C-alpha cells in the first residue's frame, strides 16, 4: 500500500513506501503530517532547512495561529507567520542550491 495515496502496488524494493515519485514528492512536501510544509512561492525555494522546521515547531508550541511559507504578495513569502503577535520571519539560513 502506498504510504501517501493508499493505492495498492507491487514495490520494486522491500523499502519502497510509495507507488510513484509524485506520491513521494507530495508526501515529503507535507512532511508526512498532512499539513503543507511550504509553498515554494519563490521559485528557487523548494526545501526548508532543519533549523527552520525546528523553529516553526517551537513557535507552534507557544502560539496558536502559525503559518509557514505563506505567499504574501507578488511572489514574496514569509517563512513563518505568527498571527497572534502579528510577526513574520524570513529565515535566511544555510540553504540548498540546485543547479
- Is the model's pLDDT at 99 over the cut of 70? no
Are 61 and 80 in the same domain? yes
- Is the model's pLDDT at 39 over the cut of 70? no
CB of 19 within 8 A of CB of 5? yes
C-alpha cell of 69?
511559507
Q: Residue 73: how many CB atoms within 10 A of its CB? A: 7
pLDDT tier, 59 (very low <50, low <70, confident <90, very high otherwise): very high
Print the domain residue range for 14: 1-35
Query: For the whole model, what pTM was predicted?
Result: 0.46
Average pLDDT over residues 30-52: 58
Are 26 and 62 in the same domain? no
CB of 63 within 8 A of CB of 41? no
Average pLDDT over residues 24-33: 72
| Chain Cα centroid distance, residue 85 | 23
Are 28 and 9 in the same domain? yes
Are 96 and 52 in the same domain? yes
Are 64 and 99 in the same domain? yes
Are 12 and 48 in the same domain? no
Please report the beta strands in the chain, taking only residues with DSSP state E, as ranges in sequence order: 66-73, 76-82, 87-89
Domains in the chain, number: 2
Amino acid at each position: 500500500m502506498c504510504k501517501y495515496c493508499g493505492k495498492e502496488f507491487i514495490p520494486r524494493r522491500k523499502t519502497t513506501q510509495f507507488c510513484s515519485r509524485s506520491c513521494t514528492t507530495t508526501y515529503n512536501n507535507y512532511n508526512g503530517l498532512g499539513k503543507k510544509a511550504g509553498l515554494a512561492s519563490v521559485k528557487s525555494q523548494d526545501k526548508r532547512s532543519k533549523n527552520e522546521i525546528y523553529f516553526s515547531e517551537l513557535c507552534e508550541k507557544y502560539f496558536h495561529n502559525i503559518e509557514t511559507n505563506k505567499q504574501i504578495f507578488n511572489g514574496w513569502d514569509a517563512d513563518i507567520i505568527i498571527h497572534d503577535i502579528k510577526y513574520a520571519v524570513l529565515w535566511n539560513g544555510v540553504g540548498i542550491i540546485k543547479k
